[in-house]
A and B are shown apart, each in its own frame.
Chain A
Amino acid sequence: MREINLEKISYELALRANINLRGDCVRLIDKAYKSEKSTLPKQALRIILENSVIAIEKKIPICQDTGLPLVFIEIPEGVKWERKYIDKINRGISKAYKEAGLRASTVHPFGGKTSFNPDIIHLEFSRRKTLSITVFPKGFGSENKSRLKMFNPTVSKDEISDFIVTSVRDAGPSACPPFFVGIGIGGTSDYALLLAKKALLERVDKPNSDKPLRLWERNLLKRINSTGIGPMGFGGSYTALSVKIRMHPTHIAGLPVGVNISCHALRSASFKVKADNVKVI
């Protein structure tokens, strides 16, 4: 019987997510850096890569906006789950933020004392055999640029593409390009935005296994990169590094599309364990 210590795991995930930039993100930034020709955007990409190394060396966060630490949990068959487990996860995250000096960016909508953790938990009971816990610190420079549009069900894919490209263009230099763009299509208004956020948790350097979606993502990336915003808004060929689409059934009367943008510092860390013979503590 393997013991899964939730407080310890979430503590480590919060640290890793904030300090170690995801490998898939580093690979895409590095590829862009190598191929960018224009001086200032190339310099910006070099500094982004340098920043990720300095963060690890100095054990300080990649970005001072250590975000709202969102939690995504997938509970498989055979694992018993209780509210107290969420409390343990929250305790671990808050402890990591406090000890490592990650910024207390959580606050009541109308001010007051700031804290570390907004207790935003997404629980899913999955058919997979793996227990999965992800900590996703979401910064607000990019989160502020989220968009939702409730289309008619007869809308064309081109119209949806136009909306997505416009949303990214509107996000502009303040959302810290080059972006990773998450798209959710279907469900309800809230669900489309959740899908968009979850899309950012996928491997951003891996092409979609669904061919029509893969082609659509590629086309969107090309269009976004032709806006010429570029890293920091300094121009060049890379306004976004990846576009990820997730779809879900929706109502016959509508077609919600959610856009969730991540800055170049897309941060998340996951713990996964085969669920047979484990005990959650």
Chain B
Amino acid sequence: MKKAIQIDERDNVATVTSDVRSGESIEVLSPKGVVILRSKSLEVIPFGHKIALADLRKGNSIIKYGERIGLASKSIKIGRWVHTHNAESAVVPTSEFKVEDK
């Protein structure tokens, strides 16, 4: 069973703690260690990346650390990988500034 961690109870994404393959079962733990969701990953999610804990519509806030870290740029189903292909900064669009190769 793969694990994902919800950092704040208000978060609608969790961070996976190891590489997850498509179709693998994931257990999402709250900050207090309670299992809040059991789901099957719908795709590959690399270590440190985010999984959606709720169905999100385009324009919905993506919440991590209890704060808005960006907006859904497409609709995102629960269990999906959340990254630059379906999410965007609300401050400085990631696509708009130079990504330094470091």
The answer to whether A and B come from one shared complex is: no
Interface residue ranges, B against A (CB under 8 Å): none
